[in-house]
């Protein structure tokens, strides 16, 4: 695979998919695990997110993808998330955002508390299961709209 990558310049994951029949999901999971292991950590309760960064992500997106915009460095949006939610947050960043993104890791509890503080959203809190209820409602609403 490395020889093929050297010859073509294609991403390793793309070559692994084609040559070894490895699923996209497995590659994304491995990528997010490796990313989380190498990413720096941040305490989102100790740093105030910059207004310009927060303006790039809506409350719904922040809660849905469990990522908190912290800063903009150059053209790159710096976000806090957890290892558990990184794969989903990476998909959000690559498919929705209009700029590169860089993730820093934090704990579930600290992220939830910071989201509650900086992105209050209709009863969402760090201590209850309103996130699950909101996601269920969003899915139900989408199904109703579609059909």
> Quick one: which of 127, 109, 104, 87 has its CA closest to 53?
104
pLDDT > 90? residue 24: no
pLDDT > 90? residue 11: no
Burial readout 80-96 (b: 16 or more C-beta within 10 A, e: otherwise): bbbbebbbbbbebbeee
Q: What is the pLDDT of residue 9?
A: 84
- pTM, entire model: 0.70
Residue range 98-140, pLDDT digits in tens: 999 999 999 999 999 999 999 987 766 555 555 566 666 777 7
Residue range 65-99, pLDDT digits in tens: 999 999 999 999 999 999 999 999 999 999 999 99
């Amino acid at each position: 695979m490395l020889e093929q990558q050297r010859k073509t310049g294609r991403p390793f994951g793309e070559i692994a998919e084609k040559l070894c029949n490895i699923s996209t999901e497995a590659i994304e999971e491995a990528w997010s695990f490796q990313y989380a292991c190498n990413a720096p950590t941040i305490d989102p309760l100790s740093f105030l997110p910059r207004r310009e960064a927060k303006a790039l992500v809506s409350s719904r997106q922040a809660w849905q993808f469990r990522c908190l915009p912290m800063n903009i460095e150059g053209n790159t949006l710096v976000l806090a998330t957890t290892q558990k939610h990184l794969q989903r947050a990476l998909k959000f960043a690559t498919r929705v955002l209009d700029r590169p993104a860089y993730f820093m890791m934090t704990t579930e509890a600290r992220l939830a508390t910071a989201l509650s503080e900086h992105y209050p959203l209709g009863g969402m809190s760090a201590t209850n299961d309103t996130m699950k209820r909101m996601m269920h409602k969003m899915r139900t609403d989408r199904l109703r709209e579609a059909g």
